Structure 1
Amino acid sequence: FGIPSDETFVITTTSRKEITEDNFSELVHDGVTLYLLQSVDQMLLLATKERIDFLPHYDTLVKSGMYEYYASEGQNPLPFALAELIDNSLSATSQNTGIRSIEIKLLFDDSQGKPAVAVIDNGSGMTSKQLN
């Protein structure tokens, strides 16, 4: 490959935990995304993609529309707000005859403005009347 013998690399998880002989069996399992980097804190030049299987707790979905209540009670409202967006996508795709696709993007690109969360699905969508 033409790699100099003095060049070093690390293998990390998405959360930047270095894979070693000691923690290999704990951190590496089916579906985990691994990165080959020159250092643990190396900047990535492109956005990364990782599949996540997520099953929210029943209460989170049922009470998701009440995030203002939870925020006023001192609880973090983010999980409830995110659950509301996911619940909307699940409802919108429930009648799909083919594959249901729900994609959650966490956007942290400073050149595009403030960080954002985008939930994209292939559901039925809403009419302009439903939006108002």
Structure 2
Amino acid sequence: MVEAEYPVMNEVTYKKNINGMPVEGPGDTITVSLGENGEVTYFSKSWRTLEEIGTTEVISGEEAIDKLKAGQIMRNTVGKTSPVIEIHKAEIGYFSATPDSEQEFYKPVWIFKGVNSNGGNVTRIVGGVAK
């Protein structure tokens, strides 16, 4: 029998946006975990400084869907690989590499969010730079 339930820890993660567009990938996050009494139990920060240097052409949504269907994904950020995905949202954003890698440019990507055949949330990222 459960007599009482209460959170042992609360965690908040902040992710970067660039001009209103999301940044996906393992870099550019700030995570703070708070214990039972509000004490900070964990803190992690990876937040690169950005400077605009130019623009690049981006592939169309149709081209991005073709890449997704062909399995040309950059990274499975959330959810296990599943051959069947129901996409609920597609948007253009940027990709941020791991904090320990040097990243000279933030390249545009198409970000697809939805659910897999098991009902789990998935995010798939495909490169968005036109060649």
Q: Normalising by the residue count of structure 1, what TM-score does the alignment of the two structures yield? A: 0.22
* Structure with greater strand percent: 2
| Greater RCO, 1 or 2 (C-alpha within 8 Å, sep 6+) | 2
Q: Normalising by the residue count of structure 2, what TM-score does the alignment of the two structures yield? A: 0.22
Asked which structure has the greater CA Rg, the reply is 1
* Structure with greater helix percent: 1
